[in-house]
Amino acid sequence: MQTKPNILPSLKLVLSFFVLLSLNAVKAQPFLKAHPHINPYRYEIVKEMTFDNGAVTSASPLASMVGAAMMKDGGNAFDAAIATQLSLAVVFPGAGNIGGGGFMLARKANGELIGIDYREAAPSKASRDMYLDEKGDPIPEKSTRGTTASGIPGSIAGIISTHAYAKLPFAKLIEPAIEFAEFGYVISEREAKGLNSEKANFLKHSSAPSAFTQKEVWKAGDTLIQPELAATLKRIQKNGLAGFYEGETAAYIVKEMGHTGGYITLEDLKKYTPKFRKPLEFDYKGHHIISFAPPSSGGILIAQMMQMIAPFNVEKMGLNTLESVSLMVEAQRRAYADRAEHMGDPDYWKVPTKTLISNSYAQARMSDYKAGEAGSSKTTLAGQVHESEQTTHFSVIDKEGNMVAITTTLNDTYGNKTIVAGAGFLLNNEMDDFSIKPGVPNMYGALGGEANAIQPGKRMLSSMTPTLVTVNNKPYISIGTPGGTTIPNQVYEGLVNIIDHKMSIKQAIDATRFHHQWIPDVIAVESDFPEDIENGLKAMGYKTMRRGKFGRMDGIQISAQGKRVAAGDKRGDDSVAGY
Ligand code: GLY
């Protein structure tokens, strides 16, 4: 005879198991449980919205929402920026990072400017010709793939330095990132495509399989859980800088170096320090523009280009007309020629910043400009001066008027494709931003010279251009974008769209873009660039090239009524949040 099982005790057991599980989840997810509107398994992209108090715009809806929540919880723009950046390291792994570096530019409501350089640095074993073979030719992939390509990561040191300006405890700001890593988040179609297309590279360049390679094929809606990254973030939560630059995490990084012959040592990690850089400032048509100093080239480039075109009535020329595009391209040609010759890490090379950003130099550089005629990079060389693609940008403005603009990078998408075994994060391939051989272009086709040659401890020249604008000494815009050497041109065009063409920040960000970087002597245009203007440029003698979209510009503008108008680029999953 069969006996009927008494299901009551086992039901009780199951119920108490679930009660325990949900209590544990509340305990384990203090941030997400306290902010139920942030649901990592169901979220939407918001491209443009106006907020009364504070706003964030970034490459990920979840990261933007986390930043906004920190401000609502009593934090300021610095709290929001720290929490957003740490969240991006989990929910936007292609560029958000703890294994890379970046630049933090801020203007406090009282007018104080802050620039924190946490760019990666060359390891102590680095040397000028480390990427060349015996014939003096670049060794394929050595500066772009695997651990040999990595500079010493700066992101965690930069974030911790930024915390001096924040209000909330660091342990709270890193908590959302830990919860996203530990309990997972749902990936977008874009992320699924990225992970699938890099799977073979991840396996080839890492010593062990990782969270990114756990699935055969990723699809939109899958949940990505990163337990090793969660454990690393918890070590940082507990031990601060030492949680990354020393102990277990540092040991994992150095062990991973051993897999493909990388150069970073325990001593390199321990010695890494972020540097404060005085932000660059210049005026353009009633606007005061603040941007990043070397080792970024971005601030100098936009100062040069905008001052070169300032005497012209660009508004009257019109958006994307032959006249306005050729004028703006000729400014790009001249400024990028100077980039190759004069710019590098100012602690290792005397960058003539003061001259390069002076209005008189800009006018002298344009003295041979002839409207209606295509210039040539054979005859336009760097000026004589007497006296340096995958990245992510986010912007924050809080209710007091503190503005933060951060651009951070692993260099290429998913960096050097190496996930540190045991620690669960990607490493950068930033060493390729040095001139590995003067005269040989890097992955962005950019040339460099002695100013940007490799030396131990030196920081590679960057194009990242986090930028702020004030009018009448009042906060106005926080803006920036990823895109390698196209970054300064994108910011330049975005600002001209707003200032000269009177576009809204969203229109300015979404508008089609063009890019000239001196060498190669060609104008790259996005696929929606007007065909008749491209044909007109060719008829003038320019070479043009159609390429896919470039950049994902994110910005916030303060309206005349004091509202925060936040916009995310149409080109990505970029999304805004605020309150
Ligand atoms: N890795 C891109 C840049 O820093 O310009």
Comparison of pLDDT for 340 and 196, the residue scoring more? 196
Question: Which member of 144, 260, 380, 391 is catalytic?
Answer: 391
Comparison of pLDDT for 238 and 387, the residue scoring more? 238
What is 155-174 written as a DSSP string?
Answer: HHHHHHHHGGG--S-HHHHH
Ligand 1 probe mutation, 103, 436, 463, 481, most atoms within 8 A of CB: 463
Q: Is 452 in the pocket of ligand 1 (CB under 6 A)?
A: no
Task: Report how far ligand 1's centroid is from the alpha carbon of 433 (Å).
Answer: 7
pTM over 0.85: yes
Residue 21's pLDDT is 43
Residue 229's pLDDT is 98
Q: What is the Cα–Cα distance from 63 to 176, expressed in whole angstroms?
A: 9
**Predicted confidence (pLDDT) at residue 10 exceeds the cutoff of 90:** no
Average pLDDT over the chain reads 93
Q: Is 391 in the pocket of ligand 1 (CB under 6 A)?
A: yes
**Which tokens go with 41?**
């398994």
Task: Report how far ligand 1's centroid is from the alpha carbon of 482 (Å).
Answer: 8
Q: Is 510 in the pocket of ligand 1 (CB under 6 A)?
A: no
Mean pLDDT (whole number) for 1-13: 38
436-450 pLDDT, tens digit per residue, is 887 777 766 777 788
345-401 pLDDT, tens digit per residue, is 999 999 999 999 999 999 999 999 999 888 888 877 766 654 436 799 999 999 999
Task: Report how far ligand 1's centroid is from the alpha carbon of 84 (Å).
Answer: 20
Q: Is 433 in the pocket of ligand 1 (CB under 6 A)?
A: yes
Residue 389's pLDDT is 60
Confidence of residue 189 (pLDDT cuts 50, 70, 90): very high
- Residues above pLDDT 90, as percent of the chain: 88
Residue 25's pLDDT is 52
Q: Is 237 in the pocket of ligand 1 (CB under 6 A)?
A: no
- Rounded to 10°, the helix 247-260/227-239 angle is 130
Confidence of residue 11 (pLDDT cuts 50, 70, 90): very low
**Predicted confidence (pLDDT) at residue 17 exceeds the cutoff of 80:** no
What is 428-471 written as a DSSP string?
Answer: P-GGGGS-SSTTS--TTS----GGG---TTPBPPB----EEEEE
**Predicted confidence (pLDDT) at residue 462 exceeds the cutoff of 60:** yes
Residue 73's pLDDT is 98
For residue 433, give the ligand 1 atom closest to its CA: 1
Task: Report how far ligand 1's centroid is from the alpha carbon of 434 (Å).
Answer: 10
Q: What is the Cα–Cα distance from 483 to 569, expressed in whole angstroms?
A: 13
Mean pLDDT (whole number) for 192-214: 97
Residue 15 phi, psi (nearest 5): -60, -45
Which residue has the least CA distance to atom 1 on ligand 1? 411
Specify the range with the lowest mean pLDDT, choosing from 8-22, 281-295, 537-551. Answer: 8-22
242-262 pLDDT, tens digit per residue, is 999 999 999 999 999 999 999
Q: What is the Cα–Cα distance from 536 to 90, expressed in whole angstroms?
A: 45
Q: What is the Cα–Cα distance from 455 to 578, expressed in whole angstroms?
A: 43
Q: Catalytic residue at 391? A: yes
**Predicted confidence (pLDDT) at residue 461 exceeds the cutoff of 70:** yes
Which residue has the least CA distance to atom 2 on ligand 1? 484
Comparison of pLDDT for 375 and 521, the residue scoring more? 521
Residue 205's pLDDT is 98
For 381-405, give one letter per residue: b (16+ CB within 10 A) or e: ebbeeeebbbbbbbbbbbbebbbbb
